[in-house]
Amino acid sequence: MTERLILDCDPGHDDALAMILAAGDPRVELLAVTTCAGNQTIEKVTRNALAVCAIAGIDVPVAAGAAGPMVRPQMVAPDIHGESGLDGPVLPEPTRELDPRHAIDLIIDLVMSNDPGTITLVPTGPLTNIALAMGKEPRIVERVKRVVLMGGAYTRGNRTPAAEFNIIADPEAAQAVFGASWPVTMVGLDLTHQATADADVVARIAEIDSPLSRFVVDVLRFFGSTYLARQGFPAPPVHDLCCVAKLCDAEVFTTREAFVAVELTGTWTTGMTVTDFGDLLGRPHNTDVAIQLDKPRLWDMTVDAIATLSARSAVRS
């Protein structure tokens, strides 16, 4: 059965790859793209989402959402994603208009107008839009099939020693999402740091030799340069791609059940995803936590999606 998803994102180099996989893999149906401030401001990430739609031929509604977190000051990540949020490639001009609805209204409308259990939410940025949608229309929690989110970790952080960027950018929103009764899969740094775009992957994408593949190569080269300079990675980990990959192929990574809560008040640990795989806290498990990636499987489906979208574009032109 085709997995139907709404991608809530903050493009972002790895978000761009997630969009491309969601549009190019036949096992999933991308229903909409919604944006949230995160890697850059809402204006910039929304512009980037429209640019990716243009280069990849993605024809779904795109709606702008939250311009900042629910209660805290805004964070952005120019050190990794550049001043545009998607530095490196030449960004094409958008070819479509934004949906007039706010992102949370688009999410609510799609979830409420489709059968229960048929739509998965895939947030790959801060969880602000998802939490706001829950607050405005609580019934979406019982209707959403599951939430597969990129954020958190059970061993480390990347914005602080304890906290991953997407979670600390809006920890109140994250706690609301983890605390709701819907099924949640946490695709955190422990998993996504396995998803590196190594030189052989970049070479395979380059061999497709299309405008889209050249765009992706430029995306990965810039992303690789900032990860090498800022965090010492020899190849960039393409975090957000992993969430969509799980919907394309459930075997792409393994998970373990755990109780996950978000620390909101710690002096040094705000934004930490406290993860209990056992029963130390006496709480029922509420999250499937991503553990081990099948990396060749991930990149095979991604290269295939880029080739598929490239072929479609060639036919249209």
Decide if 193 is catalytic: no
pLDDT, tens digit, for every residue of 197-244?
999 999 999 999 999 999 999 999 999 999 999 999 999 999 999 999
Q: What is the pLDDT of residue 317?
A: 62
Q: What is the pLDDT of residue 316?
A: 74
Residue 308: phi, psi to the nearest 5? -65, -50
pLDDT, tens digit, for every residue of 62-81?
999 999 999 999 999 999 99
Residue ranges making up the domain that contains 33: 3-316
pLDDT, tens digit, for every residue of 244-298?
999 999 999 999 999 999 999 999 999 999 999 999 999 999 999 999 999 999 9
pLDDT, tens digit, for every residue of 152-191?
999 999 999 999 999 999 999 999 999 999 999 999 999 9
Count: domains in the chain: 1
Distance of CA 222 to the CA centre of its chain: 18
Distance CA 162, CA 183 (A): 24
- AA identity, residue 252: V
Cβ atoms within 10 Å of 296's Cβ, excluding its own:
10
Distance CA 267, CA 265 (A): 6
Active-site residue, from 81, 102, 239, 285: 239
pLDDT, tens digit, for every residue of 81-124?
999 999 999 999 999 999 999 999 999 999 999 999 999 999 99
> pTM value?
0.97
- We report the CATH number of the domain holding residue 29 as 3.90.245.10
